[in-house]
Amino acid sequence: MEWNAIAQLIDPQLFLVLAACWIIGYALKQSAKVPNWTVIIFVTIFAVIFSLLILGPSPQSVLQGILIGAVAVYGYEVYKAVKQASKGDEKQ
């Protein structure tokens, strides 16, 4: 699946929420007080709440929020992997 296909699944009104989720996720990952396993939960809850506020209450809004949370976390993981690979820290 290409990024274009995923981008078509996300409502254009929510791209700002996606960017905010990425920033929030990054900030939470840098915090020593927040366990890493909770970051996806916080990011997804944030995305679902704002999707509901922007699109209105519906199952589609909840699904959009879950999708945005997942894409934000996946995007961070891709960024982290590319950064490690460029430093030569790639684990095989």
Exposed / middle / buried, residue 26 (Cβ in 10 Å: 0-12, 13-18, 19+)? middle
* The pLDDT value given to residue 57: 95
Instruction: Tell me the pTM.
Output: 0.80
Rounded to an integer, the average pLDDT of 80-86 is 86
Name the residue type at position 21: C
Q: What share of the chain is helix, strand, coil (3-state, %, to 5)?
A: 80, 0, 20
Q: Token pair of 1, please?
A: 């699946």
**Is there a contact between 12 and 55 (Cβ–Cβ < 8 Å)?**
no
**Distance from C-alpha of 42 to C-alpha of 36, rounded to nearest angstrom:** 10
The string of pLDDT tens digits covering residues 38-64 is: 999 999 999 999 999 999 999 999 999
